[in-house]
Amino acid sequence: MTQTQERSRTFTWSDPAAGAAHLGRRSGLELMRAMIAGELAAPPIMHLVDMSRMEAEEGRVAVELLPQEFHYNPLGTVHGGVLSTLLDTAAACAVHTTLPPGVGYTSLDLNVKFLRPVTVDTGTLRCEGTVLQRGRRTALAEARLTDPADRLVAHATSTCLIFPLP
Protein backbone atom coordinates (compact mmCIF):
# COMPACT_ATOMS: atom_id res chain seq x y z
CA MET A 1 0.00 0.00 0.00
CA THR A 2 1.34 3.42 -0.96
CA GLN A 3 1.09 6.14 1.65
CA THR A 4 0.12 9.57 0.28
CA GLN A 5 1.04 12.88 1.80
CA GLU A 6 -1.96 15.04 2.69
CA ARG A 7 -2.10 18.56 1.32
CA SER A 8 -4.34 21.44 2.28
CA ARG A 9 -5.36 24.82 0.96
CA THR A 10 -7.03 27.76 2.68
CA PHE A 11 -8.34 30.93 1.08
CA THR A 12 -10.44 33.91 2.01
CA TRP A 13 -12.76 36.24 0.13
CA SER A 14 -14.78 39.39 0.67
CA ASP A 15 -18.55 39.70 0.75
CA PRO A 16 -19.60 39.59 -2.93
CA ALA A 17 -22.64 41.77 -2.22
CA ALA A 18 -20.34 44.74 -1.61
CA GLY A 19 -19.04 44.60 -5.21
CA ALA A 20 -22.45 43.83 -6.66
CA ALA A 21 -23.79 47.03 -5.07
CA HIS A 22 -21.70 49.01 -7.61
CA LEU A 23 -23.25 47.33 -10.68
CA GLY A 24 -25.80 49.99 -11.50
CA ARG A 25 -23.56 52.95 -10.75
CA ARG A 26 -20.43 52.26 -12.83
CA SER A 27 -19.75 51.01 -16.32
CA GLY A 28 -18.42 47.49 -16.74
CA LEU A 29 -14.97 48.78 -17.62
CA GLU A 30 -14.94 51.03 -14.54
CA LEU A 31 -15.88 48.04 -12.35
CA MET A 32 -13.15 45.85 -13.84
CA ARG A 33 -10.55 48.56 -13.40
CA ALA A 34 -11.66 49.15 -9.79
CA MET A 35 -11.18 45.42 -9.07
CA ILE A 36 -7.76 45.41 -10.72
CA ALA A 37 -6.73 48.48 -8.67
CA GLY A 38 -7.97 46.84 -5.44
CA GLU A 39 -10.70 49.45 -4.86
CA LEU A 40 -13.32 46.69 -5.13
CA ALA A 41 -12.83 43.10 -4.03
CA ALA A 42 -12.41 40.46 -6.70
CA PRO A 43 -15.30 38.00 -6.92
CA PRO A 44 -14.91 34.84 -4.78
CA ILE A 45 -14.44 32.60 -7.86
CA MET A 46 -11.10 34.29 -8.54
CA HIS A 47 -9.87 33.23 -5.08
CA LEU A 48 -11.41 29.76 -5.29
CA VAL A 49 -9.66 28.95 -8.57
CA ASP A 50 -6.62 31.14 -7.79
CA MET A 51 -6.75 33.38 -10.88
CA SER A 52 -4.38 36.35 -10.96
CA ARG A 53 -3.13 39.33 -12.95
CA MET A 54 -6.27 40.59 -14.57
CA GLU A 55 -6.05 43.21 -17.33
CA ALA A 56 -9.00 45.04 -18.86
CA GLU A 57 -9.70 47.47 -21.66
CA GLU A 58 -12.89 47.99 -23.63
CA GLY A 59 -13.80 44.73 -25.34
CA ARG A 60 -10.82 42.77 -23.96
CA VAL A 61 -9.93 41.07 -20.67
CA ALA A 62 -6.95 38.89 -19.80
CA VAL A 63 -6.43 36.77 -16.70
CA GLU A 64 -3.70 34.35 -15.63
CA LEU A 65 -3.56 31.08 -13.73
CA LEU A 66 -0.62 29.07 -12.43
CA PRO A 67 -1.76 25.42 -12.56
CA GLN A 68 -1.66 23.73 -9.15
CA GLU A 69 -2.31 20.20 -7.90
CA PHE A 70 -5.68 21.28 -6.46
CA HIS A 71 -6.81 21.92 -10.05
CA TYR A 72 -6.21 18.26 -11.02
CA ASN A 73 -8.70 15.67 -12.19
CA PRO A 74 -8.22 11.91 -11.51
CA LEU A 75 -6.00 11.63 -14.62
CA GLY A 76 -3.33 13.94 -13.19
CA THR A 77 -4.05 16.96 -15.41
CA VAL A 78 -5.89 20.21 -14.80
CA HIS A 79 -9.65 19.60 -14.81
CA GLY A 80 -11.48 20.88 -17.89
CA GLY A 81 -13.91 22.72 -15.61
CA VAL A 82 -11.06 24.87 -14.29
CA LEU A 83 -9.96 25.72 -17.82
CA SER A 84 -13.59 26.39 -18.78
CA THR A 85 -13.93 28.74 -15.81
CA LEU A 86 -10.94 30.74 -17.06
CA LEU A 87 -12.35 30.87 -20.59
CA ASP A 88 -15.82 31.88 -19.36
CA THR A 89 -14.33 34.56 -17.11
CA ALA A 90 -12.25 36.14 -19.87
CA ALA A 91 -14.99 36.03 -22.52
CA ALA A 92 -17.84 37.24 -20.29
CA CYS A 93 -15.77 39.93 -18.57
CA ALA A 94 -14.72 41.21 -22.01
CA VAL A 95 -18.42 41.70 -22.73
CA HIS A 96 -18.83 43.37 -19.32
CA THR A 97 -16.21 46.00 -20.26
CA THR A 98 -18.49 47.21 -23.08
CA LEU A 99 -21.55 47.82 -20.89
CA PRO A 100 -22.69 51.21 -19.57
CA PRO A 101 -23.89 51.75 -15.97
CA GLY A 102 -27.21 50.08 -15.25
CA VAL A 103 -26.74 47.24 -17.76
CA GLY A 104 -25.91 43.65 -16.82
CA TYR A 105 -25.19 40.40 -18.62
CA THR A 106 -25.15 36.66 -18.16
CA SER A 107 -23.57 33.84 -20.13
CA LEU A 108 -26.05 32.02 -22.37
CA ASP A 109 -23.59 29.42 -23.61
CA LEU A 110 -19.94 28.46 -23.61
CA ASN A 111 -18.48 26.26 -26.35
CA VAL A 112 -15.04 24.97 -25.37
CA LYS A 113 -12.39 23.10 -27.32
CA PHE A 114 -9.49 21.56 -25.35
CA LEU A 115 -6.33 21.24 -27.44
CA ARG A 116 -3.56 20.08 -25.08
CA PRO A 117 -3.26 18.80 -21.50
CA VAL A 118 -2.21 21.11 -18.67
CA THR A 119 -0.16 20.12 -15.60
CA VAL A 120 1.80 21.96 -12.92
CA ASP A 121 4.80 21.72 -15.27
CA THR A 122 2.98 23.71 -17.98
CA GLY A 123 3.65 27.06 -16.29
CA THR A 124 1.48 30.15 -16.07
CA LEU A 125 -1.50 30.15 -18.41
CA ARG A 126 -2.82 33.35 -19.98
CA CYS A 127 -6.45 33.60 -21.00
CA GLU A 128 -7.53 36.50 -23.20
CA GLY A 129 -11.16 37.24 -23.97
CA THR A 130 -12.29 39.49 -26.81
CA VAL A 131 -15.70 40.73 -27.88
CA LEU A 132 -16.38 39.71 -31.48
CA GLN A 133 -19.79 41.39 -31.82
CA ARG A 134 -22.10 43.23 -29.45
CA GLY A 135 -25.70 44.10 -30.12
CA ARG A 136 -28.45 45.51 -27.93
CA ARG A 137 -29.54 42.13 -26.50
CA THR A 138 -26.65 39.73 -27.06
CA ALA A 139 -22.89 39.72 -27.45
CA LEU A 140 -20.51 37.15 -28.91
CA ALA A 141 -17.04 36.79 -27.41
CA GLU A 142 -14.14 34.40 -27.74
CA ALA A 143 -11.39 33.42 -25.31
CA ARG A 144 -7.97 31.94 -26.04
CA LEU A 145 -6.00 30.09 -23.37
CA THR A 146 -2.26 29.90 -24.07
CA ASP A 147 0.78 28.44 -22.32
CA PRO A 148 4.11 30.24 -21.71
CA ALA A 149 5.30 29.23 -25.21
CA ASP A 150 2.18 30.97 -26.63
CA ARG A 151 0.72 27.62 -27.75
CA LEU A 152 -3.07 27.42 -27.78
CA VAL A 153 -4.23 25.16 -24.92
CA ALA A 154 -8.00 25.73 -25.24
CA HIS A 155 -10.41 27.99 -27.10
CA ALA A 156 -13.99 29.04 -26.38
CA THR A 157 -16.81 31.09 -27.79
CA SER A 158 -19.52 32.50 -25.59
CA THR A 159 -22.84 34.23 -26.14
CA CYS A 160 -23.96 36.63 -23.42
CA LEU A 161 -27.44 38.02 -22.84
CA ILE A 162 -27.47 41.78 -22.17
CA PHE A 163 -30.23 43.26 -19.99
CA PRO A 164 -31.10 46.34 -17.91
CA LEU A 165 -30.40 45.96 -14.20
CA PRO A 166 -33.37 46.36 -11.82
Write the pLDDT tens digit of every residue in 129-158: 999 999 999 999 999 999 999 999 999 999
3-state secondary structure of 141: strand
Q: Looking at the domain assignment, is residue 128 inside a domain?
A: yes
Q: Looking at the domain assignment, is residue 105 inside a domain?
A: yes
Q: Looking at the domain assignment, is residue 7 inside a domain?
A: no
Comparing 10-19, 65-74, 144-153, the range with the smallest average pLDDT is 10-19
Mean pLDDT of 70-97: 98
d(CA 57, CA 32): 9
The total number of structural domains that make up the chain: 1
* pTM (two decimals): 0.94
If one counts every other C-beta atom within 10 angstroms of the C-beta of residue 17, the result is 7
Q: Is the pLDDT of residue 33 over 80?
A: yes
Q: Looking at the domain assignment, is residue 44 inside a domain?
A: yes
Q: Looking at the domain assignment, is residue 3 inside a domain?
A: no
Q: Looking at the domain assignment, is residue 151 inside a domain?
A: yes
Q: Which CATH number goes with the domain that contains 81?
A: 3.10.129.10
Give the domain extent around 157. 16-164
Q: Looking at the domain assignment, is residue 2 inside a domain?
A: no
Q: Looking at the domain assignment, is residue 101 inside a domain?
A: yes
